[in-house]
Amino acid sequence: MKQTPRNETIAIVGAGLIGRAWAIVFARAGCQVRLYDTAPEALAACQPLLLENISDLAQHGLIDESPAEVLARITPVPTLAEAVAGTVLVQENIRETLEAKRAIFAELDQLAEPGTILASSTSWLMASEFSEELPGRHRILVGHPVNPPYLVPLVEIAPAPWTSAESVQRAHDIYSRAGQTPVLLKKEITGFLLNRIQGAVLNEALNLYADGYASVQDLDKVLKDGLGLRWSFMGPFETIDLNAPEGVIDYAQRYGPTYRSVAQAQLPNEWDPAVLARVEAERRAELAAPQLAERARWRDNRLMALVAHKRRQAGNES
Ligand SMILES: NC(=O)c1ccc[n+]([C@@H]2O[C@H](COP(=O)([O-])OP(=O)(O)OC[C@H]3O[C@@H](n4cnc5c(N)ncnc54)[C@H](O)[C@@H]3O)[C@@H](O)[C@H]2O)c1
């Protein structure tokens, strides 16, 4: 589907890994994008990096314009004031410390017009932690992406208790129009939804490894050749609904007591450096350190092929 350029301008604050990826999301959707970073070298470096990522998307058939047309909608600007003027959304992507987030949101709340939504990409911080004192706190929320958001569409919208329902709805609409899949947290919690679920999986994988039940390689296969195949098109609730003939209650009656006793025996993993050194050694035997970057590129290419496949199947999906 060819994108129609839209009269909607988005500011991206912080031109690192996630800021650049957000810029691609919105430019691909036809928005004008202004990109700002305090480090001039980050802004200077971003054009070739953006072009490389957008060209990869083009190669997988994931954009219908030339990479140059998409790139032309992204404008690096030298000041924060220029970045935010006349925007519907500011997406903040600076380093992950509470002090930095507090300082940038105070500045953004002063500079941005009253109708502009201010969203943070923070992975772990809650909007209430950096917006409480601000006059415009009703338009501040978290919009947590998954890396890279131009391939993985989930955005977790996590409002503070004082974020207005109207701001939440507008953020939801902006992300949806840009092709993302927003989900809403009904109340705040550290780590939102995705990182908490990822944390639970990691906790159990580390425990099983530390207690000697399986190798790193085999534990990875449990996901990539097992659960992960299904998880790319359905979640845990739909999974259990379909895994007993009569649905969720039937499944719970059959297996619930066992899951419960397993959960009762599960402990928080200590992330012991000695165990992590063994995990690292097993990984390095599989993949030498100099090949990490090449493998990350391979991962992104596999993701692009999967996204392209899912798009082709879209007509058959619900
Ligand atoms: N990396 C991930 O996988 C991932 C995923 C989801 C969310 N996030 C979140 O996204 C945010 C950015 O992460 P990243 O990985 O892109 O970091 P990064 O280090 O790649 O980029 C941060 C950029 O912000 C710039 N910056 C710092 N202070 C600034 C300021 N005051 N104004 C403007 N620019 C400023 C830096 O110069 C740098 O270019 C973090 O909050 C992180 O938790 C990261």
CATH code of the domain in which 151 resides: 3.40.50.720
How close is the Cα of 240 to the center of ligand 1, in Å? Answer: 37
Q: Does residue 152 lie within any of the structural domains?
A: yes
Residue 113: per-residue pLDDT: 97
Confidence category of residue 307, pLDDT binned at 50, 70, 90:
very high
Residue 1: per-residue pLDDT: 44
Residue 293: per-residue pLDDT: 94
CATH of the domain at 252: 1.10.1040.10
Q: Does residue 314 lie within any of the structural domains?
A: no
Q: Does residue 315 lie within any of the structural domains?
A: no
Locate the ligand 1 atom nearest the alpha carbon of residue 122 and give its number. Answer: 41
Q: Looking at residue 160, what DSSP letter applies?
A: -
* Residue located via tokens 């350029």: 5
pLDDT in tens, 31-72: 999 999 999 999 999 999 999 999 999 999 999 899 999 999
Q: Does residue 114 lie within any of the structural domains?
A: yes
Three-state DSSP state, 85: coil
Q: Does residue 308 lie within any of the structural domains?
A: no
Q: Does residue 1 lie within any of the structural domains?
A: no
Q: Does residue 307 lie within any of the structural domains?
A: no
pLDDT in tens, 76-110: 999 999 999 999 999 999 999 999 999 999 999 99
- At which of 137, 156, 184 does a domain end? 184
Does ligand 1 have an atom closer than 6 angstroms to the CB of 23? no
How close is the Cα of 13 to the center of ligand 1, in Å? Answer: 9
What is the rounded distance in angstroms from the CA atom of residue 24 to the CA atom of residue 2?
15
Does ligand 1 have an atom closer than 6 angstroms to the CB of 122? yes
Residue 127: per-residue pLDDT: 98
pLDDT in tens, 160-182: 999 999 999 999 999 999 999 99
For residue 200, the cross-strand partners are none
How close is the Cα of 268 to the center of ligand 1, in Å? Answer: 29
Lowest mean pLDDT among 6-10, 42-46, 106-110, 146-150: 6-10
- At which of 184, 209, 242 does a domain end? 184
Residue 145: per-residue pLDDT: 98
pLDDT in tens, 231-290: 999 999 999 999 999 999 999 999 999 999 999 999 999 999 999 999 999 999 999 999
What domain range is 213 assigned to? 194-286
Q: Are residues 201 and 68 in the same domain?
A: no
Q: Are residues 157 and 272 in the same domain?
A: no
Q: Are residues 257 and 275 in the same domain?
A: yes
- Residue from 162, 125, 119, 161 nearest 141 by CA: 119
Q: Are residues 40 and 74 in the same domain?
A: yes
Number of domains in the chain: 2
Q: Are 74 and 1 in contact (CB under 8 A)?
A: no
Q: What angle do CA 28, 29, 33 make, to 5 degrees?
A: 75
Q: Are residues 161 and 23 in the same domain?
A: yes
- What's the whole-number average pLDDT of the chain? 95
For the chain, how far is it from start to end, CA to CA, in angstroms? 19
Q: Are residues 78 and 30 in the same domain?
A: yes
pLDDT in tens, 183-237: 999 999 999 999 999 999 999 999 999 999 999 999 999 999 999 999 999 999 9
What is the rounded distance in angstroms from the CA atom of residue 264 to the CA atom of residue 271?
20
Q: Does residue 292 lie within any of the structural domains?
A: no
Q: Are residues 156 and 280 in the same domain?
A: no
Q: Are residues 136 and 258 in the same domain?
A: no
Does ligand 1 have an atom closer than 6 angstroms to the CB of 96? yes
Does ligand 1 have an atom closer than 6 angstroms to the CB of 104? yes
Does ligand 1 have an atom closer than 6 angstroms to the CB of 167? no
Instruction: Return the percentage of the chain with pLDDT > 90, whole number.
Output: 94
Confidence category of residue 7, pLDDT binned at 50, 70, 90:
confident
What is the rounded distance in angstroms from the CA atom of residue 123 to the CA atom of residue 206?
21
Position 7, amino acid: N
DSSP annotation string for 8-76: -EEEEE--SHHHHHHHHHHHHTT-EEEEE-S-HHHHHHHHHHHHHHHHHHHHTT--SS-HHHHHTTEEE
Does ligand 1 have an atom closer than 6 angstroms to the CB of 97? no
Q: Are 36 and 80 in contact (CB under 8 A)?
A: yes
